[in-house]
């Protein structure tokens, strides 16, 4: 009788240890799954933040400079650029916004002065940036560093 009681206690002990082990393994799996979900969510949010911030920056600069004849598309030493012109104290300045070597850059120069694309201030990292104009709409296409593609379509008031 004592032998059976001792064996029953051993069975109870092993069942409790096995149940605890299943609980620990399940907890670790749930934790690992949660970490993966969190990591992918933060990566996606960071990519969206970068592309949306870049497009919002371009939209803000464009709207700020939206006056008759102040917006144009052109090139800076062969690099496609959005050119924002403004006159101050009788001098016309041009701000070039363009993508160069994986970065969004901005360069402000006096009209007629040529500088190289390397001279622009780096705003943020991007994959590629293109501009096009269709009728009165300005289309900005941004490719992120991860290859994702976003577009912004602006209708400048000065051109309507």
| Burial of 6: CB neighbours in 10 Å, binned 0-12, 13-18, 19+ | exposed
The pTM (predicted TM-score) of the whole model is 0.72
Tokens at residue 108, please?
A: 């402000």
- pLDDT by 10s per residue, the chain, length 160: 455 566 667 788 888 899 999 999 999 999 999 998 998 888 878 777 788 889 999 999 998 888 777 888 999 989 999 999 998 888 999 999 999 999 999 999 999 887 899 999 999 999 899 999 988 889 999 998 888 899 999 988 775 4
Supply the DSSP string of 45-111, one letter for each residue.
HHHHHHHHHHHHHHHHHHHHT-STT-EEEEEETTEEEEEEEEEETTEEEEEEEEEETTEEEEEEEET
Give residue limits of the domains in the chain. 54-159
Which helix (H) or strand (E) segment is 1 a member of?
none
- Residue 44 gets the label, from left (phi > 0), alpha (psi -120 to 50) or beta, of alpha
Tokens at residue 119, please?
A: 């001279």
Supply the DSSP string of 122-147, one letter for each residue.
EEEE-SEEEEEEETTEEEEEEE-TTS
């Amino acid at each position: 009788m004592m032998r059976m009681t001792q064996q029953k206690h051993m069975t109870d002990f092993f069942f409790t240890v096995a149940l605890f082990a299943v609980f620990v393994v399940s907890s670790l799996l749930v934790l690992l799954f949660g970490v993966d979900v969190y990591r992918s969510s933060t990566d996606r949010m960071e990519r969206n933040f970068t592309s949306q911030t870049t497009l919002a920056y371009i939209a803000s600069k464009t709207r700020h400079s939206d006056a008759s004849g102040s917006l144009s598309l052109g090139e800076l030493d062969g690099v496609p650029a959005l050119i924002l012109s403004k006159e101050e104290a009788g001098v016309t300045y041009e701000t070039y916004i363009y993508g160069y070597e994986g970065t969004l850059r901005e360069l402000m120069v006096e009209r007629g002065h040529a500088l190289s694309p390397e001279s622009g201030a780096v705003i943020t990292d991007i994959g590629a940036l293109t501009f096009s104009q269709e009728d009165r709409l300005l289309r900005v296409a941004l490719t992120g560093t991860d290859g994702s593609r976003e577009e912004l379509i602006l209708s400048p008031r000065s051109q309507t």
